[in-house]
Amino acid sequence: MKNRDEIAQALAASGYIADADLATAISLMQLLRRPLLLEGEAGVGKTEVAKALAKVHATELIRLQCYEGLDQSSALYEWNYQRQLLAIQAHRGMDSIEDQVFSEKYLLERPLLAAIRRAQAPVLLIDEIDRADDEFEAFLLELLSDFQVSIPELGTIAAVTIPHVVLTSNGTRELSDALRRRCLYHYVDYPDVDRETRIILARVAGASPSLSLQIARMVENVRKEELRKVPGVAETLDWAAALVGLEISDLHDAPETVYETLVCLLKTHEDRARVTPEVTQRLLGRVA
Amino acid sequence: MSCCGSSPGYDDLNEVSRLVSARLAAFLRTLRDAGFRVGLAEGQDAASLMTAGYAARPGLLRAAFKHLFSARKSDWDKFDGLFDAFWLGKRVRSRSRTIGSTSGANNPSLKSLRDAAAEQGGNQTVTDQLSSSDDAPEGGSGEGRMEGASRADNLAEVDFRKLSDPDQVAQAHEAAAQLARAMRTRLTRRDLARRRGYRLDLRRTIHRNISHGGVPISLVKRQRKDKPLRLVVLLDASGSMNMYTAVFLRFIHGVLDQFREAEAFLFHTRLAYVSDAMKEKDASRALDRLSIMAQGAGGGTRIGESLQTFNRWHAARVIHSRSCVMIVSDGYETGDAALLGREMAALSRRCRRIVWLNPMMAWEGYAPEARGIKAALPHVDLYAPANSLQSLRALEPYLAKL
C-alpha cells in the first residue's frame, strides 16, 4: 500500500480523518523505513494516528509511555528475579541451574523488546518522548537504527520484523538533533473546520452534519480567544457527545445549554471566567 | 534501515537524473544554510524518492520532502517557502524571516539560485556561492581567552559603561565568557556531590543479592535524579540598555555554549528566540547574527508584552522545575505596567527562581521608581545589580543553591 489516497481512505475507514500531508508521511514511513515523529499541541490527536495506523495494518499496537526516569528495565527487558530465586531454591545443588535461570523463560519482555519480536510487524508507539531523559533518548536512537538488542547473559536478539515506529512529542523539552534527523517529521495542527466536521461525524454517533459543522465552527471561534489551554480535538468530541446526549440539534436553539456545556472545552478556571455568557453569545453569533 | 530503497535508484541513473541529483544537492545546501540539519542519509532518501516517481508532482514532492527534511516546528513552517523558491521560482514568504535567526541571509542566495535555475546547468557555481556564505571554518578563538581572564581582575569592578578602550571592551567580553564557563563547572560539581538515595529499590536489591541466595545483604537505594540547572536568560536590548547589551550578549553566548541546558531570548518591543543563533561556536559571528535583532527599534521597551509572548509560546518548552529565569533589564517599561505585573506573576508560578539583573541599580542615587520595575519587583526572588564582572560573579553562589 503505497498510494497516499489509499492510505487516507484506509485511515478514514478506521475512524481517523487524515489530511493529505499526513497520508504522505505514512506512505513515506513505509517507503523509507523511518520512524515518524509527530509534534503538536496536546489533544490534537497524535496518539490516535498510531492507533489508526495499527488498525490499517491490522496489527498489534505496542505502546511505550515515556516519563521522567524511564529506564531500560521498564522499556526494554528485565529478568524475572522472583522466579529466578525460586528456581535456584528449588534446584539447589544442580549444576545446570545457572544456565537455566538466564533463559528466555525468565525474561520479562518490555514494550521495546516485544516490538521487535513479533511475527507480524506491530505499530510501536513511543508516546511523549520529550518526557523521558536525554540518556533514554540516546539509547532509543541506537535501538531505532540497529533494531537489535544485546542482553549480556543471553546474547544479541535481532529483530524478527521491523515495527512501524511512531513517536509523539508535546515539546516540553527540546529533542536532540540526532533523533530528529532519524525521523520523518510531521507537525499535527488543529484541524480546520471541514476536517473537524468530518471527525465529529466519524466519531460521535448521532451527530447530524449540520450540528457537526456548527460545533466545528464554534470550536474554531473558541480557539481564537486568548485562552490558557486551547481545546483539542478530544475536547471537541466530548462536547459534541454532550450536545448529542442532551438532544440538541441546533446550537442557536439553546444558547444557555451551549454555555453550560462549555465545561467540556474549557479546562481552567481562568478560561472559564473569560468566556462569559456574553462572549459565548458573541461567538455563537459568528456561527452560521 | 534508513535507505533500503536508495541503492536501486543509483544503478540506473541516466543523464536526466544526474542533472536532477545535482539540483538536489544544491537544494540540500540551501536547506542547510537555512538552518536545517540535513545529513547524507536524508539526501539518499530524497534521491530515491525522486526516482520512485515523487518528482512528477510538485505538490507531492514538496509534502514528501517536508516530512523528510524538517526536524522541528520552525523548519516545518518555513519549508514550503524555501521549496517554492527553489523549485518553483516563487518568492520566499516573509514569515520565514521572523522565525529563524539565520534566514535573513537566505533571500539573496535564493534569488541567485533562481536566476541560475533559469539558465540551467549553472548549478556548480551556485552551490559554491552558497557555501562561501556560511561555511567558513571555526576555531582560532581558544587561546586568546585565557589571557583575557588573567587580566580580568582589574576590570572586575569597572562599570561596563565606562569601558571605552576597545582593548578593555574585548577583555571584558572574554572575561564574561570565561565567567560563564566557570559557573557551569562549579554548578555541576555541587550537583553531583549532593546525590544520595532516599528510597529502597527492592527489585535491584533482590537482583544484586541473587548470589547470596536472595538474602538481602547489600542494599540498593533509589535516588531521584537531579535535573541540571537550566538558565533561561531574557535580555533587554532596548536603546536605554545599549551600553550593556554587548557584554551581556557575550555572557549569554558563553552560558549557552557551556551550560548543558540554557536558553536565551532578546526583547525590546517584541520577543525573539535567539538560542539557535547563539549556538554558533564563533562568538563574533554569533554576535553579528544577532546585531539586527539586538538593535532596539527605538520604540521603547515592552517588557510586559514580551513576557506575555514568552509565557504563551515558549514557557512550556523552555522552563522545567529546576529552571532559573534571568531577566536583564533596566525596567523602563513603555507599555502597560499592570500587564508586566500580571505576566511576572504568571512566570513566577512556573519557575523556581526569577533573578532580575538591573545594571542601573548600582548607579548612585538610583531607586526603583520606574513603573515597570515597581510592578515586577514583588515577583522577583533576587534583584541584583549587574554592571560589572564582579557583580555577575556574585550570582554564582546564589544559583548554586537552587
- Mind spelling out the 3-state secondary structure of chain A? CCCHHHHHHHHHHCCCCCCHHHHHHHHHHHHHHCCEEEECCCCCCHHHHHHHHHHHCCCCEEEEECCCCCCHHHHCEEECHHHHHHHHHHCCCCCCHHHHHCCHHHEEECHHHHHHCCCCCCEEEEECHHHCCHHHHHHHHHHHHHCEEEECCCEEEECCCCCEEEEEECCCCCCCHHHHHHCEEEECCCCCHHHHHHHHHHHCCCCCHHHHHHHHHHHHHHHHCCCCCCCCHHHHHHHHHHHHHCCCCCHHHCHHHHHHHHHHCCCCHHHHHHCCHHHHHHHHHCCC
Q: Assign B135 a pLDDT band (cuts: 50, 70, 90).
A: very low
pLDDT recorded at residue B14: 66
Q: Which of A123-137, A140-154, B123-137, B278-292 shows the lowest per-residue confidence on average (mean pLDDT)?
A: B123-137
Per the prediction, chain A carries an average pLDDT of 88
Does residue A89 belong to the interface with chain B, where contact is any CB pair within 8 Å?
Answer: yes
Nearby residues of A175 by Cβ (< 8 Å), 6 or more positions away: A37, A129, A130, A137, A169
Distance CA B146, CA B126 (A): 40
pLDDT recorded at residue B367: 72
Strand segments (E) across B256-374: 262-267, 271-273, 323-328, 353-357
Residue in B37, B45, B75 closest to A32 by CB: B45
Cell 523463560: give the residue. A105
Q: Which residue has the higher pLDDT, A140 or A134?
A: A140
Q: Cβ contacts (< 8 Å) between B214 and chain A: which residues?
A: 85, 88-89
| pLDDT exceeds 60 at position A169 | yes
Q: Which residue has the higher pLDDT, B232 or B222?
A: B232
pLDDT recorded at residue A220: 92
Q: Assign B323 a pLDDT band (cuts: 50, 70, 90).
A: confident
Q: Are B71 and A147 in contact (CB < 8 Å)?
A: no
Percent of chain B at pLDDT above 90? 0
Cell 570565561: give the residue. B178
Cell numbers linked to B378: 514583588
pLDDT recorded at residue B199: 66
Does residue B90 belong to the interface with chain A, where contact is any CB pair within 8 Å?
Answer: no
| pLDDT exceeds 60 at position B190 | no
Domain range summary for chain A, segments of one domain joined by +: 4-187, 193-282
| pLDDT exceeds 60 at position B196 | no
Q: Cβ contacts (< 8 Å) between B4 and chain A: which residues?
A: 33
Percent of chain A at pLDDT above 90? 38
Q: Give the pTM.
A: 0.65
Cell 512556573: give the residue. B350
**Residue A59: beta bridge partners?**
none
Mean pLDDT, residues A104-127: 92
N- to C-terminal Cα separation, chain B: 44
Closest approach of A249 to chain B, Cα-based (Å): 36
Distance CA A248, CA B293 (A): 52
| pLDDT exceeds 90 at position A71 | no
Q: What is the pLDDT of residues A228-249, one digit of tens each?
A: 788 999 999 999 999 999 998 8
Residue in A33, A181, A185 closest to B67 by CB: A185
N- to C-terminal Cα separation, chain A: 40
Q: Are B68 and A32 in contact (CB < 8 Å)?
A: yes
Residue in B52, B76, B207 closest to A187 by CB: B76
Does residue B136 belong to the interface with chain A, where contact is any CB pair within 8 Å?
Answer: no
Nearby residues of B118 by Cβ (< 8 Å), 6 or more positions away: B89
Closest approach of A253 to chain B, Cα-based (Å): 35
Nearby residues of B400 by Cβ (< 8 Å), 6 or more positions away: B186, B187, B190
Q: Is the dihedral of CA A126, A180, A4, A128 positive or negative?
A: positive
Percent of chain B at pLDDT above 70? 61
Residue A257 main-chain phi, psi, to 5 deg: -60, -40
What is the pairing mode between strands B221-222 and A107-109?
Answer: unpaired
Closest approach of A170 to chain B, Cα-based (Å): 8
Cell 448529542: give the residue. A244
CB A142 within 8 A of CB A178: no
Q: What is the pLDDT of residues B103-118, one digit of tens each?
A: 333 334 334 333 443 4
Instruction: Return the amino acid letter for B75.
Output: D
pLDDT recorded at residue A237: 93
Distance CA B349, CA A196 (A): 34
Q: What is the pLDDT of residues B342-384, one digit of tens each?
A: 889 888 888 878 888 888 777 767 777 777 788 888 888 888 8
Residue in B359, B395, B301 with CA at minimum distance from that of residue B163: B359
Instruction: Report how far apart, in Å, the C-alpha atoms of B134 and of each of B77, B83, B139, B257 are.
Output: 22, 20, 14, 19
Q: Assign B129 a pLDDT band (cuts: 50, 70, 90).
A: very low
Q: Are B71 and A181 in contact (CB < 8 Å)?
A: yes
Classify each residue of A152-169 as buried b or exposed e, where b means 16 or more C-beta atoms within 10 Å of its C-beta. eeeeebebeeebbbbbbb
**Distance from the Cα of residue A7 to its chain's centroid:** 18
pLDDT recorded at residue B112: 39
Closest approach of B54 to chain A, Cα-based (Å): 11
Instruction: Report how far apart, in Å, the C-alpha atoms of A20 and of each of A3, A27, B59 are.
Output: 11, 11, 10
Does residue B189 belong to the interface with chain A, where contact is any CB pair within 8 Å?
Answer: no
Residue in B298, B199, B287, B196 with CA at minimum distance from that of residue B250: B287
The interface residues of chain A toward chain B in range 168-207, judged by CB-CB distance below 8 A, are: 171-174, 177, 180-187
Q: Cβ contacts (< 8 Å) between A181 and chain B: which residues?
A: 37-39, 41-42, 71
Q: What is the pLDDT of residues B52-62, one digit of tens each?
A: 878 788 888 88
Give the side-chain half-sphere CA count within 13 A for B128. 4
Q: Are B1 and A31 in contact (CB < 8 Å)?
A: no
Mean pLDDT, residues A116-144: 89
Q: Is the dihedral of CA B114, B120, B122, B127 positive or negative?
A: positive
Which one-letter DSSP state was computed for residue B90? P
Q: Choose, out of B32, B37, B67, the residue to mutate when testing the contact with A (most A CBs < 10 Å).
A: B67
In the 3-class helix/strand/coil scheme, how is B124-187 assigned residue by residue?
A: HHHHHHHHHHHCCCCCCCHHHHHHHHHCHHHHCCCCHHHCCCHHHHHHHHHHHHHHHHHHHHHH
Mean pLDDT, residues B15-24: 77
- Exposed, middle or buried: residue B7 (CB in 10 Å: 0-12, 13-18, 19+)? exposed
Mean pLDDT, residues B225-234: 75
Does residue A99 belong to the interface with chain B, where contact is any CB pair within 8 Å?
Answer: no
pLDDT recorded at residue B47: 85
Instruction: Report how far apart, in Å, the C-alpha atoms of B171 and of each of A139, B102, B217, B245, B290 are.
Output: 42, 28, 58, 15, 20
Q: What is the pLDDT of residues A171-196, one digit of tens each?
A: 777 788 888 888 999 999 999 999 99
Q: Are B68 and A184 in contact (CB < 8 Å)?
A: yes
| pLDDT exceeds 50 at position B2 | no
Classify each residue of A28-60 as buried b or exposed e, where b means 16 or more C-beta atoms within 10 Å of its C-beta. bbebbbbbbbbbbbebbbbbbbbbbbbbbbebe
Question: Domain A4-187: which CATH class?
Answer: alpha beta
Q: Please count the residue pairs, one from chain A and one from chain B, whose beta carbons lie less than 8 angstroms apart.
A: 94
Q: What is the pLDDT of residues B204-222, one digit of tens each?
A: 777 777 777 767 777 777 6
Q: What is the pLDDT of residues B143-188, one digit of tens each?
A: 333 333 333 344 556 666 666 566 766 776 676 776 666 666 555 4
Does residue B71 belong to the interface with chain A, where contact is any CB pair within 8 Å?
Answer: yes
Cell numbers linked to B278: 547563539
Distance CA B362, CA B366 (A): 7
Distance CA A36, CA A50 (A): 10
Instruction: Report how far apart, in Å, the C-alpha atoms of B233 and of each of A140, A202, B97, B256 are.
Output: 31, 46, 23, 10
SS3 at position B71:
coil
Closest approach of B339 to chain A, Cα-based (Å): 14
Q: Are B213 and A172 in contact (CB < 8 Å)?
A: no
pLDDT recorded at residue A127: 93
Q: Which residue has the higher pLDDT, B228 or B241?
A: B241
Does residue B64 belong to the interface with chain A, where contact is any CB pair within 8 Å?
Answer: yes
| pLDDT exceeds 50 at position B96 | no
Instruction: Return the amino acid letter for B195.
Output: R
Does residue B317 belong to the interface with chain A, where contact is any CB pair within 8 Å?
Answer: yes
Residue in A88, A145, A182 closest to B213 by CB: A88
Q: Cβ contacts (< 8 Å) between B305 and chain A: which residues?
A: none
Mean pLDDT, residues A141-152: 86
Q: Which of A155-164, A230-239, B190-199 shows the lowest per-residue confidence on average (mean pLDDT)?
A: B190-199
pLDDT recorded at residue A238: 93
Nearby residues of B339 by Cβ (< 8 Å), 6 or more positions away: B304, B305, B308
Mean pLDDT, residues B69-95: 77
Q: Assign A218 a pLDDT band (cuts: 50, 70, 90).
A: very high
